[in-house]
Structures are given as C-alpha cells and as structure tokens.
Structure 1
Amino acid sequence: MALGGGIAAVLCIPPAVSLAAGGATDFLLSVGHPVLASSTLTVAWLASSAVDEASGTRWASGAGVSGAGAGTEWLRVDLGAGQEVTRVRLHWATAYAKSYRIQLSDNGATWTDAYRTADGNGDVDDLRDLKGRGRYLRVLATQAAKPSGYSLWDVRAYGPGPASRVPESYKAPGAGVPPEAADLTAAPKKETAMELVSSAENSTLDWRSEFGYIEDLGDGRGYTGGIVGFCSGTGDMLSLVTDYTSRQPSNVLAPYLPALRAVDGTDSHKGLDPGFPAAWRAAAKDPVFRKTQEDFRDRIYFNPAVRLAQTDGLRALGQFAYYDAAVVHGVSGLRSIREQTLRARKAPGQGGDEFVYLSAFLDARAAEMRREAAHSDTTRVDTAQRVLLNDSNLDLIPPMTWQVYGDTYTINR
C-alpha cells in the first residue's frame, strides 16, 4: 500500500534524501541507527535488519510469542536526538500488520501516535505529512493479518533534519572512548559485573552475601548454590567441591562428593538430602570455600568469556554480555550463541558496528533462553543489558539503573 505518493514515487527516491510534497527536502533519519524489537524469530531476522538498507534482510517477530501472531509486537529506532518526523515508509513482508501505529517519544517510555490504522494491507506503506517529534520512533503492531506474527523488510523515517549523528559511544572502540572506559578485568568494572549477575541470580547487588545461598529452583538442574548459581545437575558444583576439597581436605562438603558424582546430569537429590544444604551453608563461613568459589567462577566463566569478548573487539558491556551468557549457558553455550551472531553480523574486531553486533547477540541470546523453560524469562537481557545498550553505556559507567524479574537496581558510584 502506498499512501500519498504511490509505489512508483517511492522507487524513484534517492537513498539519502527525498523530495516531499511542496518541494521541501526530507533527510533520511533512521538508516544505521540503533534499533530494538519486542522479540525476534531467529538470529537470521534481526531488528537491525529493518534499518540496514540491504534489500535481502528483514526483521521478523518471534513466532507465537504474543499468541499466534495476534498480539502486540514492536520495533523501535533510536534517531540519536530529537527529530521532527514528517514521513515514514514501511515495507512489509508477507507477515504484515492489519492494525498498527507509528509513535514518537522523547524518552522511550511515553509515546504519542503520529499515525494509526486498523486497515493495513501489507506491501509498502508510504506515510506522508506526519506531524510529530521525538528521539525514538516505534512501529507498534497490534493485530497481525496472519498467525505468523510480523515482519518488515524496511523502516525509513524522514524529516527536515539533517539527520543527527549516532552518539559517539555507539562507535567502534578507539573513537571517543571516555577516560572511564576500561576492560571488565579492571577492579571497578569487575565489581559492576558481579553485581549485575547477582541481581539476576540472587536478587541482590550484594553478591558477597550469597556464598551460602542454596536451593532447588525446580529447573531440572538439582541444587543451585553460591555466587553464580553452581548446580548439582550440571557438573560445576561437583567440580567446585572437588577443588575445595583439594585445598581443604577436611571440609563439611567432602563426604558428599560420591553423591554429587552420582547425581551429575540429573535433578536428583539422592545422597544429598537432608544434610547437604546445611553443609553448604556451613562451608560458606570458611574463607577457603569463599575463595574457591571466586577462583572457580573466574577460571570457568569470567576469564574465558572476557577473553573471547576482547578478541571480538567488545568493550565492557559486551564483555559482560558474554560473561552473563557463560554463567547461564556455559562457555560452550556462549560460543554457540556467538557463532550464530557472527553468521549474521560482523563483530567490532572484524570491522563491524559494536551497537549493531551487540543488538544481534542479545537477540540470539534471548532466543536461546526462550528454548529452555527454566530461562524463558528473558528480563536479565531485555530490561537489563538492552537498557544499558540503549543508553549507549558500552563502557558500563555509573550511574546505571536496570530491572530484573520486576525488581529495580541502581549503581551510583
């Protein structure tokens, strides 16, 4: 569908500048800017594909995420600064919205409709003579024409501009990096990373209070305990206790090693109940056990994840995103998610855009989490890491605020 201009007129428009009615110059505001979506079907159809100008790429919402395609999904573009938007061109794929809105916002939270329809018929919608202003533009799809959800080949926003430059912190390392920037291995950054993980794993920023944490979460992994959620069913708890026993042979957990070996790979408590949780909490009072947990965490999760992120040219936020993925999925799971992402986007170390690459990585990470019932709640990605990414905080510089599982956390130092 072409509104106020026709498809033929659209096809004659140069890629960067168009002539709107009345002869005024319209600048293309949206191409290459940061973009987020409510869901993504797979890593092949990323949110960023809708603003990359490539003819063969598109965004597709997660299938069935909102009830067989009948619910609400959205795609949001950060225009970099407040912009007047006079025209939006949407190129729908086969999965199009029957009802949708074009919205604008200054803060990404409060939205104003610039256009709305309940009679969409797909193809190309060239919406002209719009009136609205905001830094963020959102396509809010509320009713799908088909049960497969929504998909857009292209989203282009135009206005009197000129289009603002993408904020400096979206650029690759080396350009405009603030003096506070440092790798995640620097002590203050590492402390931030531990607090971010603890907010998701233990619902607190005080990760040092969680050495004695232990419970069965009913996720099929048996007992989960300690500062990053070591599990009796996934092998890392067994390895941790083995390491602890090599350092402190006469410890309260050593008698449970045969049982930990027996239940590895299962959710069974056989041989662990009833005394293991109490023994774990008692061991947590031992400085040697606390040090063992920290060393094991760094050796198995933190160090490999950060090294891999450094290889990919990622700064602190990207390094943390890799680390958090390793904690939940293991380093092998992290590598799998990374490989999926690299098939679609170049990492900064390969000359790619850091924001675009991280957006794609988080899309792939969220898709992987949704495949496992125990981790289907993706808020540790969507309302934490994506929030920091959207704030351009690629260096994890406080103050920062995020949410996990409905709880709000803030670091001010």
Structure 2
Amino acid sequence: MKHLARALRPPLAAALLSAAALTGCSGSASDAPAVSLDDPAKKRIALQLVSSAENSSLDWEAQYPYIEDIGDGRGYTAGIIGFCSGTGDMTAVVERYAKARPGNPLERFLPALRAVEGSDAHTGLGPPFARAWARAANDPAFRAAQDAERDAGYFDPAVRQAKKDGLGALGQFVYYDAYVMHGAQDAEGTLGFRTIRRQALAAARTPAGGGDERRYLDAFLDARVAAMVQEPAHADTSRVETAQRVFVREGKFQLETPLRWRVYGDGYRIDEG
C-alpha cells in the first residue's frame, strides 16, 4: 500500500474538479497502434507520471535516496514509489538488497523492519536507518532492488491485469498508479486495487468484456476517487482529476505525447515519449 510524499497538502479547490474532466466524445481506443506500458518509452513516461504525484518531480531516478515519515500512519516512506515500513514492501526491498549485497549497512535493520510492519513505529530504525537508506542509494545493487520490488509488486501485476481487461497503455498506467497508492488488497480503513476494480466493474464493462474504454476508465477513476477521499492523507485527488482524467478526456489511450497535467496545482508536461 502506497501513499503520497506530499499527501498532506490541502485539497484542490472544487473548481479544479470541473465537469469538463468527465466530458468528451465516447470512444474505445485511439487510432494509434497499440503499445503496452512495458514498452521502455511508455514505462519511462509512467515512472515520470507517478513521480510527479509522489515526489512533485519528473526526475524519478532522483528518488532512490528519499526517505521520511509523512505522518500518514504507515511509518517511513522511501524510494522511487514510496515503499513503506508499515506495509512490508520496504522490508522486501531491503531483503532483496541483502541477497544481492550480503552484509550491506541496511541488512542489520531487517529484524526491526519486520517488527514494525502493520504500524507507524520507528522502533529500532530512526535516524540511523534513514541515513543508511539514503547512503545505500549510491549502490547500483540497492537501486536494482528498488526497481525489482516496484516491478514485481506493482508494475507487472497492474499491467498484466490491464491487458486482460483489454486496456491500452493509459489504462495500464491507471491500474499501476492505483496499485502504487492503494496496494492490491484492502487494509484497515483503506480499499485496495482489487476492490476498486470490482466497484468499477459494477458500473461499466471492460473493453475485453465488450465495453467502451473511455466509459470503463471513468468508472474506475470514480471508484478510485471514492477510495481516496476515505483517507485524510489522500484527500487531494488531483493525481486523478487533473491528470489521469484529463488523459481520458483527451482520448490518449496509448499515452501519446505531448502530455500535460497538474498535481497539487503544479503543472507538468512530457513532450516526447
């Protein structure tokens, strides 16, 4: 389960959530040749889009050393997609790193990481752990461990499910971003990706099921927003309403560039993919 590095910023004004984000002609796909999000160029775009929401920067590769507690009840948030000490994926990153680089400075914190899972505690971690995490980011093996956990736990399952649902690169990204923030499963007080998808399916059919891609993605984003506002740390829904919803409205089902969007009121653009 993931969360925002800037999640506690005030929600956007209601004016940003304009009805225009929900309008536009119907359609199920663009005329561009289908391409998957695991295409290297599209994946790079996906990583930049997530970084704009998680770290307020398109430079996702600068986020390997990032670590802080943002006060959302999940302990430390760290790395390229906000691995959390309270949810277990941070532990998985350090375990991967220990296998690749036995005896590394983070390995000694594994017992403490396992002990704090399910809580926001820093017991046995604290500033020494935060410093060790940031220093480890200079090691290619640690960066590779973050990449591997991101792909195995979030990117790959999201893309796989989206392909089964007949979604293009945009829909695959929509699923991936939901995985990053919500995780696959429900947790205490939060809804996971699978529940959000199930709610979307109650409102619209997937393209693979004979439905309209635009209509289904809007239904999924509606369910996603409803899940987000249940958590104070996710009350700002701009990563959906002024980003993903914009791409749906524009019919960019293959994440065709240029892309322009806003998160927390900040503007971003990608001109080439």
User: Please, which of 232, 237, 256 is the counterpart of residue 378 of structure 1?
Assistant: 237
Asked if 1:246 is matched to 2:104, the reply is no
Return the alpha-carbon distance in structure 1 between the equivalents of residues 16 and 183 of structure 2. Answer: 33
Higher normalized strand content (fraction of residues): 1
Post-superposition, which runs of at least 4 consecutive aligned residues in structure 1 deviate over 6 A?
Answer: 71-74
Partner of 2:31: 177
Which amino acid in structure 1 is aligned with residue 61 of structure 2?
R
Q: What is the Cα-based RMSD across aligned positions, in Å?
A: 2.0
| One-letter amino acid matched to 1:345 | A
CA change 1:197–1:353 in 2 (3 A) is same
* Matches of 1:267 and 1:320, distance apart in 2: 29
Deviations 1:363-408, CA, capped at 9 Å, x for gaps: 0000000011111111111111011111111110111110111111
Displacement after TM superposition at 1:353 (Å)? 0.4
Determine whether 1:358 maps to 2:211: no
Aligned residue for 1:57? none
SS at 1:275's partner residue? Answer: helix
**Contact kept? 1:227, 1:293, Cα under 8 Å:** yes
Residue 57 of structure 2 aligns with which residue?
204
Tell me which residue corresponds to 2:263.
404
| TM-score (norm: length of structure 1) | 0.59
Aligned residues: 254
In structure 2, the partner of 1:306 is 159
TM-score normalised by structure 2 residue count: 0.88
Give, in angstroms, the shift of residue 75 of structure 1: 4.1
Maintained 8 Å contact 2:65/2:134: yes
- The match for 1:262 is 115
Matched, 1:191 2:48: no
Residues 304, 331 of structure 1: 8 Å contact kept: no
For structure 1, which runs of at least 5 residues remain unmatched after alignment? 1-65, 81-165
Alignment of 1:46-195 (within 5 A): 75-76=19-20, 78=23, 80=25, 166=26, 170-172=27-29, 177-179=31-33, 181-195=34-48
- Name the counterpart of 2:173: 320
Q: Is the 8 Å Cα contact of residues 183 and 316 (structure 1) preserved in structure 2?
A: yes
Give the C-alpha shift of residue 317 in structure 1: 0.7
Equivalent in 374, 391, 398 of residue 250 of structure 2: 391
Structure 2: 5+ residue runs without aligned partners? 1-12, 186-191
Alignment check: 8 A CA contact 2:166 2:206 kept? yes
Q: Does 1:237 align with 2:90?
A: yes
Give the C-alpha shift of residue 274 in structure 1.
Answer: 2.4
More helix by share: 2
Q: Percent identity?
A: 53
Distance 1:292 1:74, change over 3 A: closer
Tell me: CA distance 1:350–1:234, structure 2 relative to 1, closer, same or farther (3 Å).
same
CA contact (8 A) 1:252 1:282 kept: no
